[in-house]
Amino acid sequence: MKLYLANPIYDTVFKYLMEDERIARTILSALLKKKVVKVEQRPHEYVNATRNSISMFRIDFAATICEDNGHEHLVLIELQKTWLETETLRFRQYLGAQYNRKENIVEESKDKHALPMVAVYLLGHRVGNINTPVVYVNHHTYDYDGNLVECDEPNPFVESLTHNSIIVQLPLLHGRINNRLDKILSVFDQTNASKSNKQTIEVNEEEYTGDSDMEYIVRRLLSAASNPDVRQDMNVEDEYFKAIEDRDTELMVREKAIKERDEAIKERDEVLEEQKRTLKERDEALEEQKRTLKERDEALKEQKRTLQERDEALKEQKRTLQERDEALKEQKRTLQERDEALKEQKRTLQERDEALKEQERTLQERDEALKEQKRTLQERDEALKEKNRLLSNAIEGMLSKGMTPQAIASILGMSESELMTYQK
């Protein structure tokens, strides 16, 4: 016959289940693979992590274990259950708190050693690539050469400083029952959760017939399923985890938006870097052009000096010709033919003068063109100064809005030292 039990993955059902001393002994005996003859639940040890983070349910037990030789001893059981994946630090912080508690010290012992402790983790998620549903992590003692050190009886000092762990991965149960522990944990198997209502586990009553402990657990979970307070608490847990899923979805959307923004910033930085390279190339081109113009200026100055020297030579020649003209006037009568020749030579010189004047006008036009080019360079220099001023004002604006120099430098694609050159 099919039975519908309260799902013990819920904190409120798990608490309801473990409050029963017989069930606590049955479950802990199966987990420890030892006979637990007595279980004392520590008072006020039901703990749920803060509801705005993750559900982690914890119960502390003081269990009396009977060994095969009949020896009984007390062990502290730290049972922790969580639905969702959480940081290892959460478990470590809780274990650290238990190591520090004075209540866990054996008062009658001479060396005041602590009770040996076993940490049990019931996880609603998988741990890495471990494919075994139940994992036992036991500590051993070795010498320097790696040889196992065996003692007839556990040493209280060593047992106080280390602990064993049992990790149960509930998603890996999958209905497999190979031993006593598998049978006990079958009520936690979420593959049996009702498809219409995950608050219930569907089990076959015949599978537990004749097993008084399992029949007792099934009756306890049936009782929880019909308990209105338990069902109300399960509804609250469902609402809480729905809120967590909504929050995680919102976080995923935010992370995607942040990633897209980072990519946009990266693209913008690449554009700025490309612009920076372009400006650098332009500056180098302007510098090269400046050097070329300087060389041209030097060449024009040299040409001007050459023309001046020629002008002086022509003036000197003109004076010489004038002197000759005076001498020729004295010899005018005898040297008329020479006078005509001199007149012809004079006309030739006049034509040369006109050519020189034309050359001078050409040089003046070149001088005007160089002046115009100089004005153009001055205008470009003014434009670069204006661009630097605008960049400086933008930096001051971002600083006034509370942005750090590091963030501004990252956005503009420059170092902080370069950024400081633009600050007023």
Tens-digit pLDDT string for the chain (424 aa): 888 899 888 888 988 998 899 999 999 999 999 999 999 887 644 445 444 444 567 788 888 999 888 888 888 888 888 766 554 444 455 555 554 555 555 555 455 556 788 989 888 888 888 888 899 988 777 777 878 877 666 666 666 567 788 999 888 887 776 788 888 888 888 888 888 888 888 888 888 888 999 999 999 998 888 888 888 887 787 676 666 656 666 777 787 888 888 888 888 999 999 999 999 999 999 999 999 999 999 999 999 999 999 999 999 999 999 998 888 888 878 767 777 878 888 899 999 989 999 998 999 999 899 999 999 999 998 998 888 888 888 888 888 888 888 888 888 888 888 878 876 6
**Strands 35-41, 56-66: parallel, antiparallel or unpaired by DSSP?**
antiparallel
What pLDDT score was predicted for residue 89? 43
Residue whose structure tokens are 């006990």: 184
Q: Chain centroid to CA 406: how far?
A: 17
CB 164 within 8 A of CB 137: yes
> Measuring CA to CA, which residue among 299, 215, 234 is closest to residue 12?
234
> Measuring CA to CA, which residue among 205, 247, 181 is closest to residue 5?
205
What pLDDT score was predicted for residue 112? 54
Q: pTM score, two decimals?
A: 0.50
What pLDDT score was predicted for residue 244? 62
Torsion angle (degrees, nearest 10) of CA 363, 369, 372, 377? -110
Residue 201, helix vs strand vs coil:
strand
What pLDDT score was predicted for residue 113? 57
What pLDDT score was predicted for residue 52? 44
